[in-house]
Structure 1
Amino acid sequence: MDGSTTRVPRRIAAVIINSLKGGVVPRIGLPYVTVGREREIQALLHDLDLVADGGASFRFLVGRYGSGKSFLLQTIRTHAMGRGFVVADADLSPERRLQGGQGQGLATYRELVRNLSTKTRPEGGALSLVLDRWVAALREEADPEGALARQLEPVRELVCGFDFSRVLELYWHASLEGDDDRRAGVVRWLRGEFRTKTEARSELGVNACITDDTWYEYLKLFAQFLVGAGYQGLIVLVDELVNLYKIPNATSRQYNYEKILTMYNDTLQGKARHLGIIMGGTPQSIEDRRRGVFSYEALRSRLTQGRFAGAGLSDMLAPVIHLEPLTYEELLVLIEKLAEIHAGYFGYERTVTEAQLVSFLKIEFGRVGADTHLTPREVIRDFIELLDIACQNPGAGVDELLRSDAFSGAVTSPVAATAEGDVDAAYAEFTI
């Protein structure tokens, strides 16, 4: 490796370094640190092509904590925005589920819409931008009203489509009339902020509002509308499925899994168009037959791996993609990129050599249980901490830090560290 890398802007470098050290995935700058996962990325990019052609897709990304699920989701998010999709992403939590009796499903919808992102607004909050772009495109038509009717016709044919198209018409006319209050009301309605039909009727004259039971239908409507607005479709990313696994009430869990089944069936049976859904979870949250997704028999029978996969063979076209650990070589490339970004951000000449990078990884992989439990998150966190300490303490060399007990001491085998002559004779050999 020659150690060369593209110069990273300081603002993006700061986000990358601070996010990764804190154990979270940066929302910008991912191409600078993406390594490996070529097969997974290609499979998901194939799904984007399908969605752009008018189809729909549904995938699960399965991996342990820190294995790179969220990183891969954000990578696909970046690719999707670059290809002209609108992306909505949300992490599930105790307050945000797919279904709930206290507004948890609607809370997830609100989070998705709040994080609505496009290529020109990658940080989220792109709903108003999308609507204004749609209005601007309509104004350029020779017959704007006719174009409006043609665009909304396929929307009206879907469930809840009449009210959705009515709200869009209100936004169009409010834009023509310069009625900012009405436009703001429409945005609030689309964000799911109206709690009752009465409230929606009094402010907008619409006899419906987005609820726990209907929010997914409105995602399908959004996908159809976005195509008419000039985008390729809608990609929905949902992470932290483990929060469904943690729901204590079995009936509530089943309702949430039933919502997943509805989404899965809609996308694969062609009932949804221009919509891609990707969900991320741990193996336990998916495969546990007592509390996980597989506890819902209808989903288990659809998602269980077939007879031919396994034994080193993986099916990247299956609905469930299991993330394999990054290889030693891929991690070496990754930490080299991080070393370059760190040096560029803090304004010093990189001094960490390739031999030191190799030594760092040897120590990391030498830890007890590293073969099965070491994750990229832990490697990245340790490496950035090493760079931070070396940068702040010029007198402490990298080799010295790597040899310190605080870092390398954890890999010392107690048996190997004990000289043969130091073993008490009473414990050298015994019989049970």
Structure 2
Amino acid sequence: MENEDILMALKNGNVPSKGAKKLCVGRDVEIEEFQRLLRKVDDEDKAIVKFIKGEFGAGKSFFLKVIEDMAFEDNFAVSWITISHNLPFNKIELVYRNIAKTLRCKTGTSLEHVLDKWYTQHYNMASHDSDNDFEKHAILRERIHDELEDTRQFSSTFATAIENYAKLRSEGDTEGASAAVSWIRGDANIPFSVKKKFGVKGEINKETALNFLEALSIFIKSVGYSGLVVLIDEVEYIMHLHTHQIRNTSYNYIRDIYDNCNMGKFQSALFVFAGTPYLFEDSKKGIPSYPALEERIQKVLESDYVDMRTPIIYLSDFDRDDLINISQKLLEMHGEVYDWDAQSKVEPIIENIADELISTAGLSGGKVTARKFVRKFITLLDTVEQNQPHFNTPEDILNEFINNTNQIDDEDEFDEFDDDW
């Protein structure tokens, strides 16, 4: 079922929930670079910020999914947020809350799962050390206090809340422990009487949110994960915030994260911001309108040669080889899912399809938008498989593709806030 789900998601213009890496073509150098970065985060406790730049439909969200899959394979905890009307980046406390709420790992889908797993491990170790309940709980408290020492250096309040979460768990106060998790996650409106149980006051706000995010990355590493990966999609939405001041506030928070990573305030973390070229090039509302960020990440050497170690990585559209490669992968998958001889019928015209598309892509530098092509090709395979008696020769299939290309183009207009790929 997984391959069928992948095909359906791609046909609908969405990123599949699983299996993105095996369909990621033309990105070998980028994948290798992010594998290197993940190793540095894990082995050296580095904190790194990268920016992904690509046209609508070029595969930014798809590539973020590939990074997510790689991170899960390497035992990272991952959060994925999408900048939007409901999550503008100028409210950093809201950004933190969404990062904490979307936290996932290979074995679970919440911050509560991470905390529960961590607490259970320490409880089991304390139980192994002593059968006496009093001694066991004393050992447990000491272990947890010591392990939170690094986290405490970044935010004593954050560490206190986690320490008291563990205390409430050991006392059987599940309601208080659950409230502690909610507060750590950034939830508001928790009664003072409940917060008093886990030793905190107030709420996470714009003054404390970055410190909490730094503490979260330290805590994630300390409990046995390789580090924290935060994927931030559709960052170009910042350009549509109403005022210059609000946009500057958003870009300033990105600059703060960038600087704090480079200065060592963040540890064991990778932040990846993805946006369209407008975000990186528009001088009125994009990043260039905020020099404090632009000067840090701009390309300082104009060259046609690849340099993956610059802050911004550009994802180009498909070239001829990419089209052929992804076609062959989709062809094999489609044949297996729907149990038909897709390769003998369609493979002979794959190069013809690629040539046709490249020849009509002059205005885009001979490149084809990834999402558009994948949708077209899967639609073609679906049509041929369900109407095989009408397609007796490879030329019949090629004509079907060419004759219907314009219609599919018209149906695949991009919404500026719906860059699912």
Q: Deviations over 1:160-204 (max 9, x none)?
A: x12211211222123223332122212221222224784763674
Q: For 1:89, which of 80, 89, 103 is the aligned residue?
A: 80
- Matches of 1:408 and 1:302, distance apart in 2: 42
The 1:145–1:393 alpha-carbon spacing in structure 2 relative to 1, beyond 3 Å, is: same
The aligned residue for residue 352 of structure 2 is: 359
Shift of 1:205: 4.5
Mapping of residues 282-431 of structure 1, within 5 Å? 282-307=276-301, 309-310=302-303, 312-351=304-343, 352-368=345-361, 369-371=363-365, 374-397=368-391, 399-404=395-400, 406-407=403-404
Mapping of residues 21-420 of structure 1, within 5 Å? 21-52=11-42, 53-100=44-91, 105-121=92-108, 125-139=109-123, 140-141=125-126, 142=129, 143-158=139-154, 161-195=155-189, 198=192, 201=195, 204-307=198-301, 309-310=302-303, 312-351=304-343, 352-368=345-361, 369-371=363-365, 374-397=368-391, 399-404=395-400, 406-407=403-404
- Matches of 2:261 and 2:5, distance apart in 1: 35
The 1:35–1:341 alpha-carbon spacing in structure 2 relative to 1, beyond 3 Å, is: same
The 1:151–1:204 alpha-carbon spacing in structure 2 relative to 1, beyond 3 Å, is: closer
CA contact (8 A) 2:346 2:397 kept: no
The aligned residue for residue 430 of structure 1 is: none
- Matches of 2:316 and 2:144, distance apart in 1: 47
Please report the RMSD computed on the Cα atoms of aligned residues, expressed in angstroms. Answer: 2.3
The 1:400–1:254 alpha-carbon spacing in structure 2 relative to 1, beyond 3 Å, is: same
Amino acid at match of 1:284: Y
Q: Deviations over 1:256-291 (max 9, x none)?
A: 001011001000111211111110011111221111
Structure 2 unaligned runs (5+)?
Answer: 130-138, 408-421
TM-score (norm 2): 0.86
Shift of 1:313: 1.1
Q: Deviations over 1:315-361 (max 9, x none)?
A: 21111112233332122111211122222222333244322222222
Percent identity for Structure 1 against Structure 2 = 27
Shift of 1:391: 2.1
- Matches of 2:45 and 2:240, distance apart in 1: 35
CA contact (8 A) 1:116 1:126 kept: yes
CA contact (8 A) 1:197 1:208 kept: no
Shift of 1:222: 0.9
- Matches of 2:214 and 2:153, distance apart in 1: 12
Deviates further, 166-175 or 289-298: 166-175
Q: Deviations over 1:119-166 (max 9, x none)?
A: 223xxx2322211110122121544322211111111111xx122112
**SS at structure 1 position matched to 2:41:** helix
Amino acid at match of 1:242: E
**SS at structure 2 position matched to 1:157:** helix
- Matches of 2:406 and 2:167, distance apart in 1: 69
- Matches of 1:408 and 1:382, distance apart in 2: 7
CA contact (8 A) 1:99 1:213 kept: no
